[in-house]
Every structure is written in C-alpha cells, then in structure tokens.
Structure 1
Amino acid sequence: MELAPRVRYAVTDRHGGVSRAPYDSRNLGGATGDDPAAVRRNRQLTAFELGLDTSRVVHMRQVHSATVAEVTAPFGPDAPPLDAVVTSEVGLALAALAADCASVLLADPVARVIGAAHSGRVGTVAGVVPATVDAMVAKGADPARMVAFIGPTACGTCYEVPDAMREEVCATLPEAWATTAQGTAGLDVRAGIAGQLTRAGVGEVRHDPRCTIESKELFSYRREQTTGRFAAYVWLTR
C-alpha cells in the first residue's frame, strides 16, 4: 500500500508463517520464546512477499524507550536497544513489531525521509513518536508535509489499567483518558499518539482502527500472554 508518493507500507497479521502454537504462525518477534529459525524464516517469507530485499530490513530490539537512531543498513543480530529508526535510504525497510502496542510509521515524501516507531504506553509517555518526528526534521523533513500511520493497537474500551495509572499517563497525555466497556479505568494509546502527532505539526494522520485484543487475526499479549508479534513496515521506492 502507498503511504505517500514513492513510499510503501504494510501491516502483517498472524497467518501465513511457519511458527507453531502459541506463536502460530507468522511470528516476526525474536524475543518471544519462539524457535529462532522459525522467526528468521517468517521474516524472510514476509520480505519476499512484500517485494523487499530480505537483507535490507531493519528490525529493532524494542525496549519501550524514546531512543531513535538513523540507519543506513540493518543492525544484524546485535541490534541496540531502541524503539524508533529513521532513514533516507531507498529500499531499506523499517519494521516495528507489536502485539498491543502501536506501530507508528512516518514519511515526508518531499524530503524522502521515513521513520518507524514502537509506541506502547511507556514509550508513548516517554515521547518516542515526537522524538521520531524530531529525528526526521534533523534530516530535512517538514512535519507539515509528513504523513503518519498509526497501526493496530489495544483500544481504550479494552485496555484496562489501574485508576492511578490512568491518572499518571493522562497527566502527560490527556487524550489517552478512556473508560473500558466494563466501566473501569482505561487508556486510549492511539488517541494519545494522535495528539502528539497533531502537536508536532504532522500534516496527515491515518489509522488502522483494529483493536489487537478484539482482532483474532492479530497477535495480542493482553489476550494470550505467550504469543508472537506482527509488524508494520515502511520503505522508500524509486
């Protein structure tokens, strides 16, 4: 799919891979307890299906931080701990993994700069998405030209948290205030991220509205605990 002119993106689901239960079957997460050989095969299959060079996909070691790095090539087997990457390299795909957290993709099609961030509750409060916007601006991007995509994530009516946690998060991200279907305290991380993007001046924000907890075709840590990870990819084309 096209995120912007000469910028492509894709979101995987849990089907079509080789992993066995409970990671069945397209688990792309390397820190889940799945067979590493199965994860490598799933990543290769996914890159091939997307028309990507399997040796030019950047995977992060996600740690719920606000750390962003500029990349010109994949990290290899020893990726540093971080939660966002930006690049201007054509054909270098950036991947963000999720299983309830949000994957956020960004592109400035004029400056030819893209970014991908893993933004769950902790990373969102820490500001990983605004930090990604800032890293792209440092490479010549203009937020007003940017298109952002917020991937599937746990919705506010499903994401139950303690009252004190909601108060703490919403002191920083008031848009994230939510009430679950049971009438208890909840968090709408998607709304919080959208608010951050708006405040950063990002020109267009798109959504995949699916809730990971409700959507059985996606992995969800809250629903299953031991499970895999799906991914959102973004890359520049010629």
Structure 2
Amino acid sequence: MAEAVRVTALSGIPHGFMTRLGGQSTGLVGGLQCGFGAGDDPAAVAANRREAADAVLPGAPLLGLHQVHSADVVTVTDLWDDDHRPTADALVTDRPGVILGIVTADCAPVLFADRQAGIAGAAHAGWRGAHSGVLEATLEAMERLGARRPRMVAAIGPTIAQASYEVDDAFRDQFGPSAEKCFAPGKPGHWQFDLPAYVAGRLRQAGVGAVEDCALDTYALPEQFYSFRRATHRAEPNYGRQLSLIAVA
C-alpha cells in the first residue's frame, strides 16, 4: 500500500511525498517506482502513479513533467497525458482537483501553497535547478496567478542530506558567499553539501512565509526511498524515482 510523508505546513491541503513502499514494480526498482526513465515496465509505472495520486486526491488527474534540471515552470490551465508531458521542472495551478507531480531521487522536491488564494505549486530542485532559480521562478508563476509570498508555505520533501552528499572544490566554487554555511569541511579537497538547507535558505530569502523541511535522507534510507547517488555508489545500472504531489482542494 502506498505510503505518503505529510508535513504540518501543508495541513489540510491534499499533498504527499511518496515513499517507495507499495506499488507494482519489481527487481532493482521494486516498489512504488513512479519515474519514466528507470527502465521499468510502463504498465507498472502507470499503475504506481495512479496509486500515488489516489493516496492524495482519489480519482483526480495527475500531471507530470519531462524534468531536465531547468528553471522552467509550467502554469497548468489544461490537462495533458503522460505521453505529452511538457519539458520543465516546476508546475503551478489555481485549478481545483488537479494533482501536480514531480519525481526525484535525491534532488529536493518542494511543494508550495497559498491557501487563501487557492494556488499550489511543485518544483524539482536539485542543486542545478535551485542554483539557476527554479524556486524563485515557481514563486513568480504563483504570483502571476494571485498568490502572495508572505502567505505562501513551502515544504521540502525527502532529499539527500549533508552527511550523504560529498562534493569537491570545483562544485563548491560554483556557489557564492551566501551559501558558505551549506558546506561543511570533509576530506581534503572535499565538502559535505547541505542541499535542503540551501533550498530553504533561498526560499526564505525570496520571502516565503513559512518553510518546513521533512528532514528525511533519501540516500540513508534504502527501504523507504530511491537514491541516484546510492545506486551510483553501488554500481547499479538504474535507479527508481519517488513522486511528490500536491493539489488545490
């Protein structure tokens, strides 16, 4: 049976950060594998995505994206099917009864809401997307629909944590002084990067009213979550993706 992590910041709003528990996928990506690039059985992926969506808002349509680590945002007005997903890394909508979904496997899934305005958003924020402005672009798209940043809440879902995320000097050099606190010294020439803290910092700096981090490490919890970096370290040929969902009730 599908399992969703829910957060206080989004209480009363249909949402969920799905784990890998449940689902119909088997083998290396066994469980509730919801990504299209995992070499998985398409029928199992479709069934898993429906199971995940029904755990958030039963029977509602689920809209996803072809994600590419960009800062591009789609404002949902019409529905599309999985074979016609737009290329972007965030979605926003004021349309009730439509589920917004993004997949991740270490990157930060961020769910947004302005309850008063009836507007929701979802963003895929790996370090590339966050660094290039996908979070701020999502906020701007929500504002164009009538949301206001002081009223917004943002929840950061299961993400690779600092203890599991080793990077080198060249990686760190891409970030400015404002991100220094997100890097802890590691072995010579290396650092431990705190992606959730970096995402939270950008959200707060952008004026989001409340930010909550669920503080779950995808790398360190293999029974609950898929992880790109864990699969890479294990020399596994592929990896699964978990789905994060939100809707305007």
**TM-score between both structures, scaled by the size of structure 1:** 0.92
User: Match for 2:80: what amino acid?
Assistant: F
User: Match for 1:18: what amino acid?
Assistant: Q
Q: Are 1:34 and 2:46 an aligned pair?
A: no
State whether residues 3 and 107 of structure 1, in contact with CA within 8 Å, keep that contact through their aligned partners in structure 2. Answer: no
Q: Distance in 1 between matches of 2:176 and 2:165?
A: 14
Q: Are 1:17 and 2:23 an aligned pair?
A: yes
Q: CA deviation at 1:53?
A: 2.0
State whether residues 145 and 202 of structure 1, in contact with CA within 8 Å, keep that contact through their aligned partners in structure 2. Answer: yes
1:233 counterpart residue number: 245
Q: CA deviation at 1:5?
A: 6.5
Match of 1:162 among 158, 164, 168: 168
Q: Distance in 2 between matches of 1:96 and 1:178?
A: 29
Match of 2:229 among 218, 222, 237: 222
1:129 counterpart residue number: 135
Q: CA deviation at 1:176?
A: 3.0
State whether residues 72 and 92 of structure 1, in contact with CA within 8 Å, keep that contact through their aligned partners in structure 2. Answer: no
State whether residues 152 and 208 of structure 1, in contact with CA within 8 Å, keep that contact through their aligned partners in structure 2. Answer: yes
Q: Distance in 1 between matches of 2:139 and 2:36?
A: 26
Q: Distance in 1 between matches of 2:138 and 2:129?
A: 12
Q: Are 1:112 and 2:118 an aligned pair?
A: yes
Q: Distance in 1 between matches of 2:158 and 2:123?
A: 13
Q: CA deviation at 1:172?
A: 6.7
* Aligned counterparts, 1:1-12, within 5 A: 1=6, 3-4=9-10, 6-12=12-18
Residue 166 of structure 2: SS of its match in structure 1? coil
- Measured against aligned partners, the alpha-carbon deviations of 1:102-143 in whole angstroms (never above 9, x if no partner) come to 000110011111100000011011110111011111111110
Q: Distance in 1 between matches of 2:110 and 2:185?
A: 23
State whether residues 66 and 126 of structure 1, in contact with CA within 8 Å, keep that contact through their aligned partners in structure 2. Answer: yes
Q: 1:164 to 1:57 in 2, by over 3 A?
A: same
- Measured against aligned partners, the alpha-carbon deviations of 1:20-46 in whole angstroms (never above 9, x if no partner) come to 111111100012211111101111222
User: Match for 1:72: what amino acid?
Assistant: T
Q: 1:107 to 1:30 in 2, by over 3 A?
A: same
Q: Which deviates more from structure 2 when the two are superposed, residues 184-193 or residues 5-14?
A: 5-14
Q: Distance in 1 between matches of 2:159 and 2:55?
A: 24
Residue 67 of structure 2: SS of its match in structure 1? coil
Q: Distance in 2 between matches of 1:140 and 1:21?
A: 45
Paired-residue identity, %: 36
* Aligned counterparts, 1:25-174, within 5 A: 25-54=31-60, 56-76=61-81, 77-170=83-176, 173-174=179-180
User: Match for 2:159: what amino acid?
Assistant: T
Q: CA deviation at 1:236?
A: 1.3
2:235 counterpart residue number: none
Q: CA deviation at 1:214?
A: 0.6
Q: CA deviation at 1:175?
A: 4.4
State whether residues 176 and 192 of structure 1, in contact with CA within 8 Å, keep that contact through their aligned partners in structure 2. Answer: yes
Unaligned runs of 5+ in 1: none
Unaligned runs of 5+ in 2: 1-5, 233-237
How many residue pairs get matched? 235
Q: Distance in 1 between matches of 2:168 and 2:78?
A: 41
State whether residues 59 and 74 of structure 1, in contact with CA within 8 Å, keep that contact through their aligned partners in structure 2. Answer: no
1:195 counterpart residue number: 201
Q: How large is the RMSD of aligned CA atoms in angstroms?
A: 1.8
User: Match for 2:245: what amino acid?
Assistant: Y
